[in-house]
Amino acid sequence: MRIYTRAGDSGSTGLIGGRRVSKGDPVIEAIGSIDEVNAWLGVLASHVDDARVRRLLAQCQNDLFELGAELASPGGPPRLDPARVSELEKAIDDFGGTLPPLRRFVLPGGHPAAAWTHVARTVARRAERAVVRLLGEATEPSPAVRYLNRLSDLLFILARFLNSQAGVPEPTWPGDHREESPPDRPSPSPKR
């Protein structure tokens, strides 16, 4: 089977229904960003041992395909089940309920799986911004934007959960709390 068609060599690509648009079109930017999130979730799943997390990531990957297909067929029926946002919120509450409260900003890192989760989180935020640019600001929140917003929240909680599960301390930003330097850095010199 050939995967190349040469149809996109001129800088255009096809949407569902056959309409051709520039590869620089905002819809392609949004779909491509969603595809990137999906790929990072696959990378993340390959680094996670917890079966619950792997199942959750697989469901999110399927959701992202539905979301991409929905954006690729403007005017078509919604494909992503709106209940998925509530399910992400439940997962955030379930995984987050096992974690200590935050006292500082968390730096991406720690256990490798947590670090990959933070990469996926930032790409999800980029996809959210691309979808907002595509759809514009509306009085009623877009289900796509709500989903991507919640997905990035979930990934933040999962990064914290994976660090906790691995027994790896969360890297934190010292911010204005310089007197409490992280263990791998010396305290700053007193000001003179």
Does residue 110 contact residue 163 with C-beta atoms inside 8 Å?
A: yes
**What is the pLDDT at residue 187?**
44
Measured CA to CA, the distance from residue 144 to residue 131 in angstroms comes to 7
As given in the structure block, the two tokens for residue 53 are: 């997390």
pLDDT tens track for 135-154: 887 667 788 999 999 999 99
Q: In CATH, what number does 21-166 get?
A: 1.20.1200.10
Measured CA to CA, the distance from residue 64 to residue 104 in angstroms comes to 31
Measured CA to CA, the distance from residue 111 to residue 83 in angstroms comes to 31
Rounded to the nearest 5 percent, the helix, strand and coil shares of the chain are: 55, 5, 40
Measured CA to CA, the distance from residue 126 to residue 124 in angstroms comes to 5
Give the least confident one: 68-72, 102-106, 176-180. 176-180
Kindly give the interhelix angle for 51-72 and 83-96, rounded to the nearest 10 degrees.
150
**What is the pLDDT at residue 190?**
44
Count of C-beta atoms within a 10 Å radius of residue 150: 20
- pTM here? 0.83
pLDDT tens track for 157-170: 999 999 999 999 99
Amino acid at site 160? R
**What is the pLDDT at residue 112?**
96
